């Protein structure tokens, strides 16, 4: 499967309903190159639609580092996971992240074992990022507080 970037453009109609126009670019395209292409394409899409274009976003193609497992663990299913709740700067609302196929070693008594390294490492990375990138909620507010972790079953 080829690595690609995905650009998603929301278009709101007169009633406020939103649908997205999506296009893809090669993974080798830089953000600056994609922005230049979008600067040319945006007026053309605007002329094509009667809706308004708001806040396009992009999903960049990443490569996994070495050392990750290459097969799923036996009896670990995406439907059994964990909702991790974080607080974020500048908002009173929680931001939640679903982790699918939660390792059974992190499940105890019908809940999530939040003090084990498998959980704390991820939680701390989401709160501190690295030297350059700090994770945010979908509005760009820095994640600043761990609130809760709840075992969750989804279809």
Please state the rounded mean pLDDT for residues 139-143: 89
**What are the tokens at 73?**
């663990």
Structure-block tokens of residue 35: 């922005």
Residue range 105-127: mean pLDDT, rounded? 93
Q: What is the pLDDT of residues 44-102, one digit of tens each?
A: 999 999 999 988 999 988 888 999 998 999 999 998 999 999 999 999 999 999 999 99
**pLDDT of res. 120:** 95
Does pLDDT of 35 surpass 80? Answer: yes
Identify the pLDDT of residue 2. Answer: 59
Mean of pLDDT over the chain: 91
Enter the pTM of the model. Answer: 0.75
Q: Is 144 within 8 Å of 77 (Cβ atoms)?
A: no
């Amino acid at each position: 499967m080829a690595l690609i970037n995905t650009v998603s453009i929301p278009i709101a109609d007169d009633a406020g309903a939103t649908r997205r126009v999506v296009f893809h670019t090669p993974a080798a395209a830089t953000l600056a190159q994609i922005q230049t292409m979008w600067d040319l394409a945006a007026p053309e899409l605007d002329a094509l639609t009667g809706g308004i274009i708001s806040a396009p976003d992009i999903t960049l193609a990443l490569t996994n580092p070495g050392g990750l497992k290459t097969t799923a663990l036996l009896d670990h299913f995406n439907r059994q996971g964990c909702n991790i709740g974080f607080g974020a700067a500048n908002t009173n609302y929680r931001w939640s992240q679903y982790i699918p196929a939660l390792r059974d070693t992190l499940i105890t008594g019908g809940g999530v074992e939040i003090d084990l390294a498998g959980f704390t490492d991820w939680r701390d990375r989401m709160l501190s990022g690295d030297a350059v990138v700090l994770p945010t909620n979908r509005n760009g507010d820095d994640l600043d507080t761990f609130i809760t972790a709840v075992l969750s079953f989804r279809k």
